[in-house]
């Protein structure tokens, strides 16, 4: 699938240069956070606190322009005159000194640790998907009748057979692009191109030039004509990711293309016929966007021929372990390592996590664990900190009951008849987990759950959860 090759940063996602190329993978571990970067196969990469750095460190001990990686047959790191220095193999390097770094070695910058790994080349036959073959295995019912994705893939398979436009809904990281690729491969257009455009990654002007193309001289700098993605997808599928971010002016022009099946390049007066199937995806509530006039109603109906909602990973817990094991095998294969087993504690931790970043977050967590693990098996210490908190939640004790009243003056616990429903019980546990992860800080816990603080406090009272900072 063709991507718009633009360096973009999405919360919870790595920075990507290019598309699924072999090269160097860089893991950056900061204060309670980590990011994975796919680096180019050759060239230089700057590291520092500056916004213009290729690898930006959120570390006050790092200089704005701290170090440089030079990538080739050998990987070198060079200190650019930083204030606090750069260390390799626990040895400080001099300013301007180029030190070779081997796969698996660490670079210390301030309070951050960078680990480099050289990725082996992928087998040519392996499909380039964000989620490997396990997701496609759902089509044959690999998980049995309890798998919530079976029905979704059944709908996708039926929709793929026609030409109707498809709208894929779901949170960030649930696998919307993987679903779009799967639909294309199941469709009669499988031999045609499959092109992806992230509508949130480009400015309005650049988005239109990428979609529609332009003629020579259409604007300053247009020295040659350019084929737009709508024409490039002729006979295939155009996947519009994050379509809810598309500007209204572009929506109008896209609607015209869908209705007339004609596209006019910028600077041209001659329309060209196009035969394209549209698949769109968004994590927004498009119906709500339509109601507040942020998205055109007529375009919504054109794109929403069939809607497919992919549930978040927390509603598909039976998939967590198989997905984790698939990622584990694939990552170890890339690194040329034996596959370490997941300890029982890790398996339990993965199941208790809410996974706000969904499948993408799970893959990042497994990749991090593989890179950090030097033991025979992956242990709880190799998971990101929030997974540890989920594994060992600190659950506040409810007050002891005495004569129908709590010993701290709170009202008695609700009777079974008035106890919260099972959904309420799940919510109560999520609140307890958030408090545990935030050391009892109510404001941070509310933010973690995406909940206004006033609502969070009201739920503490509703579920009889003591408030250590009340008052």
Question: Collapsing DSSP states into helix, strand and coil, what is residue 262?
Answer: strand
Compute the Cα dihedral for 241, 210, 53, 331 and give only its sign.
positive
Question: In the structure encoding, which two tokens stand for residue 32, read together?
Answer: 């309670």
Q: Encode pLDDT of 120-162 as tens digits.
A: 444 333 333 333 334 443 333 333 334 678 889 889 999 999 8
**Pairing verdict, β 237-241 and 194-198:** parallel
Alpha carbon distance 254, 165 (integer Å)? 13
* DSSP alpha helix (H) spans, 105-238: 133-137, 149-160, 176-186, 204-212, 229-232
- % of the chain surpassing 70 pLDDT: 77
pLDDT higher than threshold 80 for residue 437 = no
Alpha carbon distance 239, 281 (integer Å)? 8
Instruction: Specify the pLDDT at position 23.
Output: 59
Question: In the structure encoding, which two tokens stand for residue 387, read together?
Answer: 């997974």
276 versus 131: the higher-pLDDT residue is: 276
Question: In the structure encoding, which two tokens stand for residue 403, read together?
Answer: 């004569």
| Top-confidence range, 20-34, 100-114, 324-338, 394-408 | 324-338
What domains sit in the chain, N to C, each tagged with a CATH number? 24-118 (2.60.200.20), 133-309 (3.40.50.300), 321-391 (1.10.8.60), 401-462 (1.10.10.60)
Compute the Cα dihedral for 415, 420, 422, 425 and give only its sign.
negative
Report whether 277 contacts 187 (CB < 8 A): yes
Q: How far is CA 301 from CA 18, 165, 241, 461, in A?
A: 34, 10, 17, 43
Q: Encode pLDDT of 311-336 as tens digits.
A: 999 888 888 999 999 999 989 988 88
Report whether 237 contacts 195 (CB < 8 A): yes
Backbone angles phi, psi at 396, to 5 degrees: -60, 140
Backbone angles phi, psi at 153, to 5 degrees: -70, -30
Alpha carbon distance 374, 381 (integer Å)? 11
Q: Strands across the sheet with 43-48, in order?
A: 55-56, 43-48, 67-71, 75-79, 98-101
Distance of CA 218 to the CA centre of its chain: 36
Of the pLDDT bands very low, low, confident and very high (cuts 50, 70, 90), residue 32 is low
pLDDT higher than threshold 90 for residue 269 = no
Question: In the structure encoding, which two tokens stand for residue 355, read together?
Answer: 């996974």
What pTM did the predictor assign? 0.56
Helices 176-186 and 149-160 meet at what angle, rounded to 10?
40
| Top-confidence range, 90-94, 99-103, 161-165, 276-280 | 276-280
- % of the chain surpassing 90 pLDDT: 33
- Number of DSSP helices (H) and strands (E) in the chain, helices first: 15, 22
Alpha carbon distance 428, 465 (integer Å)? 8
Report whether 143 contacts 319 (CB < 8 A): yes
Q: Encode pLDDT of 66-92 as tens digits.
A: 999 998 888 899 999 999 899 887 789
Q: How far is CA 232 from CA 4, 176, 239, 415, in A?
A: 13, 22, 12, 64
Q: How far is CA 114 from CA 9, 25, 75, 380, in A?
A: 18, 10, 13, 21
Q: 423 CB contacts (<8 Å, ≥6 apart)?
A: none
Q: Encode pLDDT of 390-418 as tens digits.
A: 443 433 333 333 333 334 333 333 333 33
């Amino acid at each position: 699938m063709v991507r718009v090759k633009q360096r973009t940063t999405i919360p919870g996602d790595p920075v990507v240069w290019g598309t699924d190329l072999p090269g160097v993978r860089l893991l950056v571990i900061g204060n309670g956070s980590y990011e994975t970067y796919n680096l180019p196969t050759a060239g230089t990469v700057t590291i520092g606190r500056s916004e213009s750095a290729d690898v930006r460190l959120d570390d006050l001990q790092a200089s704005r322009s701290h170090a440089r990686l030079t990538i080739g047959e050998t990987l070198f790191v060079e200190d650019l005159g930083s204030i606090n220095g750069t260390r390799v193999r626990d040895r400080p390097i001099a300013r301007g000194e180029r030190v070779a770094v081997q796969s698996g070695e660490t670079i210390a910058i301030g309070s951050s640790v960078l680990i480099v790994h050289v990725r082996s080349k992928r087998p040519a036959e392996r499909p380039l998907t964000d989620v490997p073959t396990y997701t496609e295995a759902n089509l044959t019912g690999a998980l049995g009748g309890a798998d919530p994705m079976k029905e979704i893939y059944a709908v996708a398979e039926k929709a793929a057979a026609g030409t109707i436009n498809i709208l894929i809904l779901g949170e960030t990281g649930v696998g919307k692009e993987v679903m779009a690729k799967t639909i294309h491969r199941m469709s009669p257009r499988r031999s045609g191109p499959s092109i992806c455009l992230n509508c949130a990654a480009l400015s309005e002007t650049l988005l239109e030039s990428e979609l529609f193309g332009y003629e020579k001289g259409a604007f300053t700098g247009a020295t040659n004509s350019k084929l737009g993605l709508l024409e490039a997808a002729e006979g295939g599928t155009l996947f519009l990711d994050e379509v809810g971010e598309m500007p209204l002016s572009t929506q109008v022009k896209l609607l015209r293309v869908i209705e007339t099946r004609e596209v006019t390049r910028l600077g041209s007066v001659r329309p060209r016929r196009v035969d394209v199937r549209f698949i769109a995806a968004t994590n927004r509530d498009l119906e709500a966007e339509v109601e507040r006039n942020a998205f055109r109603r007529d375009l919504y109906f054109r794109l929403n021929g069939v809607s497919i909602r992919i549930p978040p990973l927390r509603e598909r817990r039976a998939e967590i372990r198989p997905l984790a094991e698939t990622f584990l095998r694939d990552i170890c294969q890339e690194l040329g390592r034996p596959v370490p087993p997941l300890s029982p504690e890790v398996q339990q931790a993965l199941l208790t996590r809410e996974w706000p970043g969904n499948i993408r977050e799970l893959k990042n967590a497994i990749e991090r664990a593989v890179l950090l693990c030097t033991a025979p098996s992956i242990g709880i210490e190799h998971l990101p900190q929030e997974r540890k908190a989920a594994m060992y939640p600190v659950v506040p004790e409810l007050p002891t009951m005495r004569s129908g009243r709590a010993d701290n003056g709170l009202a008695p616990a609700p009777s079974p008849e008035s106890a919260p429903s099972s959904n309420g019980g799940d919510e109560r546990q999520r609140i307890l987990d958030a408090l545990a992860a935030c050391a009892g800080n109510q404001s941070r816990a509310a933010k973690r759950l995406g909940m206004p603080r006033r609502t969070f406090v009201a739920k503490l009272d509703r579920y009889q959860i003591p408030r250590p900072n009340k008052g």
